[in-house]
Structure 1
Amino acid sequence: MNKTLTELTNHPVFHYFAELSSIPRGSGNEKEVSGYLLRFAEKRKLAVIQDEALNIIIKKEATAGYEHVPAIILQGHMDMVCEKNKGTAHDFDKDPLQLQIKEDMLFASGTTLGADNGIAVAYALALLDANDLPHPALEVVITTEEETTMKGALEVSPDHFSGEVFINLDSEEEGKLLVSSAGGITASQNLPIQWEPLTGDTSAFLIQITGLYGGHSGMSIHKGRGNANKLLGRLLNGLSEAFDFRLSLLSGGLKSNAIPREAEAVIHVPEAHASRVPELADIWESIFKEELRTSDSRVSVTAEKVNLLHEQVYSAETTGSVINSIMLIPNGVQSMSQEIEGLTESSTNLGVISSSASAITFVSEIRSSVKSLKEQILKQNERIARMTGSSFTTQADYPEWPYRKDSKVQKLFEEVYENHYGKRPEIVAIHAGLECGIFTEKLPHIDAISLGPDMFDVHTPEEHLSIPSTIRTWEYLLSALREMKAFYS
């Protein structure tokens, strides 16, 4: 492509994407970007609402000839997953993303790019800013905290909308029209820590699982990639079968909806067994490399002897409960759809393990397109929490988006796609959670669809966006909006 970043941002979509990339917008840190969107609308004298959840709703009147076409609700989310490579000096609370072009792809330097879902916001802003693009009345809603709790969509009031057609722009594959998605819920098990004095002649080791690929816990869960938390649990279980030890630290993963790439623990081993720790770590690395030879061959296991002044360690009971929890908490694909070939129906991802002075927390992201199966996995986690003496909480329960056989907007986008590309688009359901389920539950009359350009490795520092696909999808969206006058007449 050989474009410079300056040249690329002459395109209206990339202009706004670059502006968004200069604003920190991790989930829960959307105040600044919400304010930016509010000022954008006010400057253009567009009707705008900023609600208590910091959602932004911007309305624009129909262009001439489109006054009688049903209003369009155009939707995306302003927050992003904040992941970075180890050693990357980037503060997601204040630093702008460093965009860079590699061939025809857009990356950020050492961090997630935030194309999920900044590209939806950029599309919306480019459309709202234009004066020469025909379209029906627009009701643009940009939500907050989609990547964590879906709080924004859950709290948005349906009273703000009159639109009958809902276009979500949070998809990641050009040529695929999404018509259904999974529901989900986040489950947390909180294991109280019993501390005891460290006694005897011991050595401390920092055990680390690194080098894994990670990925989106919905879109990539079926790819067989290693989960660092689960691998760490297996390693600790293997060590516990060889000799006694105590834990004093445990952590892994950063987000419940990202397959964890790294995990670590500090163990305290009787000096008589210290020499065996690196040997067993090497054996487990070989096991993991063989198991993950196709999906995650870069997996690394290290056991480094460290000098620590810890006077307190987890009790034998707590250490055992930690290992039991990691080993028993389900992870990965739980069921496949019997109706749609290749579609993951239900899954769960042990995405985060974190420690405080009082408890260890295990956080899982549970997904299913069948409500009863989601509840079954949830109950399984709750039973495991009882067995290990953990408390159990949930948050961010969001509904599935059911398929609508008589969708008129699906038919429109199919026809426009065929005219635009000379072939039919693929109609798909996905295992990832989309806000469409929340909006179709709040607004049961709406006819919804989801689309987007090609993006890759989302929720990882390798995330990248296809520049040509982004431009083609923009033109496709404009064509669909333009054709609505004839289609809905």
Structure 2
Amino acid sequence: MTEAVQRILDIFEELNKVPRQSEQEEKIHKWLMEWAEDNGFACSTDEALNINIKVPATPGFEKAPGLVIQGHMDMVCEKVDGSDHDFSKDPIKHVIDGEWLTAEDTSLGADNGIAIAMAFAAALDKDLEHPAFEILITTAEETGLYGANALKPGFVEGKILLNLDSEDEGIFTVGCAGGNNTIIHLPVEYRNIPEGHKTVQMTVTGLLGGHSGVDINTNRESSNVLISRLVSQVLSQVDAGLVDIYGGTAHNSIARTSDAVLAVKVADLDKLETVVREVEARFKVENSLVDKGLEIKTATPSVTYSRMLTAESQAKTVNLLLSMPHGVQRMSAAIEGLVQTSNNLAIMKLEGDNLYVLQSQRSSVMSDLMYTSRKIEAIAGLAGARVEIEEKYPAWMPDMDSPLLQKCREVYIKTFGKEPVIEAIHAGLECGVIGSIYEGMDMISFGPDIQDCHSPDEKLRIPSLELVWLFLTELFKSYRS
């Protein structure tokens, strides 16, 4: 490991000692602002807690165009089942396993803390030659790009943006999907649990989960889909009623664990177990090549319940969940292998007198995005549900004639002796939003190898970080006046 990479990882570890869950960024915002002040850099912030840190040019680069290095401060906070980690106060514990950096029982937050660490390392490196650059750090990227959407003209001055939120070294991303969230509120009614019934909790667990943009086409199963199928099958064969159902943690994560609680007639408890095992066996066959750790657990719930859904509300709840689309909806006809449109059945839970369902739609074609959202709204309407479609964020359309892309390609070939891969992705990046606010912004996205984002298996490949750093330093040098 080079000294430069070690410095980046040291900064990243310090960053990971500070809580930075999406929309709870006050502590990390304070830490970042103090870092800029302590190191003598001009710094500004806005009402959304976005930060801009200005780093002056080194000698010989005074006439070079100003760059913007961009990443987001928040992270998706996921942990393994049974972990007592508290993301509001506990530091992320780094673990080096061979050439990989991961975390102990939690997501690592390399998405996108490693961008901040690289930018800070560049700002502090007195031997590094570079143009003037701004470090733009946004908030609430993971929950809807809210920080980027709140940016105002004039907050950023540079017209060349390097987004460091990509996850495959050697790949330049020049376009991404747009998206929005759809929220369903279905009114439900309850009745008392009859005498002679016992509550049983069923848990679908052991799934890989992952990023709902990056991994949506990998056939990784959603626990929300599976628990809905399981409940439907059990209720068709067992004398039982639906008491509770919940699963998923974030709009951009494929659900890994979901639960349902049933009130089961005592005489049917053995039959319930038989049906669950039959369904589990079928699920394992369906997912034998991807989600090999899938299992269904049954247990007595830790919470005491006194009521279950009425027959009408139960039917509406189960049928609504079963009818929700999940996964790839359409592949791109323009770019081979690119997912055009998808939907993630992200979060569902019974809360009070409503079933709450949060879904995330993505598409590189905004009309198809709206069609998918409206289709979900129509299905929900048939069940009598109220639907909110949150404000959408725009797609980033590729510009294959971009001067920045041509420069990055030339520098990459000169540095590594091979062509980079140039692609558009299905995941959402802030570039689309930023480009819509700052007209004429030339943008590209790249980064080190990061696997299993938005899950406790997230890991960063350290040798790839070294390659990205080398490329970044050579790109800087190419701007010498």
TM-score (norm 2): 0.97
Q: 1:210 aligns with which of 205, 208, 223?
A: 205
Aligned to 1:275, what secondary structure does the other structure show?
helix
Mapped partners of 2:461, 2:324: distance in 1: 37
Q: 1:296 aligns with which of 291, 300, 309?
A: 291
Mapped partners of 1:394, 1:135: distance in 2: 43
Q: 1:113 aligns with which of 108, 113, 128?
A: 108
Q: Where does residue 18 of structure 2 map in the other structure?
A: 23
Q: 1:356 to 1:8 in 2, by over 3 A?
A: farther
Q: Residues 148 and 396 of structure 1 are in contact (CA less than 8 Å); yes or no, is this contact kept in structure 2?
A: no
Q: Where does residue 61 of structure 1 map in the other structure?
A: 56
Structure 1 residue 446 corresponds to structure 2 residue 473: no
Mapped partners of 2:138, 2:378: distance in 1: 34
Q: 1:202 to 1:307 in 2, by over 3 A?
A: farther
Q: Residues 30 and 144 of structure 1 are in contact (CA less than 8 Å); yes or no, is this contact kept in structure 2?
A: yes
- Stretch moving more, 297-306 or 63-72: 297-306
Mapped partners of 1:396, 1:482: distance in 2: 40
Q: How does 1:239-388 map to 2 (within 5 A)?
A: 239-305=234-300, 309-388=304-383
Q: Residues 149 and 395 of structure 1 are in contact (CA less than 8 Å); yes or no, is this contact kept in structure 2?
A: no
Shift, 1:244, TM fit: 4.4
Shift, 1:406, TM fit: 1.3
Q: Where does residue 38 of structure 2 map in the other structure?
A: 43
Structure 1 residue 162 corresponds to structure 2 residue 161: no
Q: 1:455 aligns with which of 450, 453, 459?
A: 450
Q: Where does residue 404 of structure 1 map in the other structure?
A: 399
Q: Where does residue 78 of structure 2 map in the other structure?
A: 83
Q: Where does residue 426 of structure 1 map in the other structure?
A: 421
Q: Residues 151 and 437 of structure 2 are in contact (CA less than 8 Å); yes or no, is this contact kept in structure 1?
A: no
Q: Where does residue 4 of structure 1 map in the other structure?
A: none
Aligned to 1:177, what secondary structure does the other structure show?
strand
Supply the AA of the counterpart residue of 1:234.
Answer: R
Supply the AA of the counterpart residue of 1:229.
Answer: N
Shift, 1:39, TM fit: 1.1
Supply the AA of the counterpart residue of 1:368.
Answer: S
Mapped partners of 1:257, 1:27: distance in 2: 12
Q: 1:278 to 1:367 in 2, by over 3 A?
A: same
Q: Where does residue 9 of structure 2 map in the other structure?
A: 14
Supply the AA of the counterpart residue of 1:348.
Answer: N
Shift, 1:413, TM fit: 0.9
Aligned to 1:11, what secondary structure does the other structure show?
helix
Mapped partners of 1:204, 1:10: distance in 2: 53
Aligned to 2:479, what secondary structure does the other structure show?
helix
Mapped partners of 2:354, 2:113: distance in 1: 35
Q: 2:214 aligns with which of 204, 212, 219?
A: 219
Q: 1:8 to 1:196 in 2, by over 3 A?
A: farther
Supply the AA of the counterpart residue of 2:105.
Answer: G
Mapped partners of 1:416, 1:234: distance in 2: 51
Q: Where does residue 238 of structure 1 map in the other structure?
A: 233
Structure 1 residue 70 corresponds to structure 2 residue 79: no
Q: 1:144 aligns with which of 139, 157, 173?
A: 139
Structure 2 gap segments, 5+ residues each: none
Q: Residues 199 and 305 of structure 2 are in contact (CA less than 8 Å); yes or no, is this contact kept in structure 1?
A: no
- Stretch moving more, 388-397 or 301-310: 301-310
Q: 1:73 to 1:400 in 2, by over 3 A?
A: same
Q: Where does residue 186 of structure 2 map in the other structure?
A: 191
Mapped partners of 1:182, 1:299: distance in 2: 30
Q: 1:416 to 1:10 in 2, by over 3 A?
A: closer
Q: Residues 66 and 135 of structure 1 are in contact (CA less than 8 Å); yes or no, is this contact kept in structure 2?
A: yes
Shift, 1:183, TM fit: 0.4
Supply the AA of the counterpart residue of 2:265.
Answer: P
Supply the AA of the counterpart residue of 1:146.
Answer: E
Q: Residues 25 and 80 of structure 1 are in contact (CA less than 8 Å); yes or no, is this contact kept in structure 2?
A: yes
Q: 1:134 aligns with which of 118, 129, 132?
A: 129
Supply the AA of the counterpart residue of 2:282.
Answer: I
Mapped partners of 2:400, 2:84: distance in 1: 49
- Stretch moving more, 93-102 or 477-486: 477-486
Q: Identity over aligned residues, as a percent?
A: 37
RMSD: 1.6
Listed one character per residue, the Cα deviations across residues 299-351 of structure 1 (whole Å, up to 9, x for unaligned) are 11123355874222111111111111211111000011112111111101001
Shift, 1:162, TM fit: 2.1
Aligned to 2:184, what secondary structure does the other structure show?
strand
Supply the AA of the counterpart residue of 2:14.
Answer: E
Supply the AA of the counterpart residue of 2:260.
Answer: A
Q: Residues 8 and 14 of structure 1 are in contact (CA less than 8 Å); yes or no, is this contact kept in structure 2?
A: no
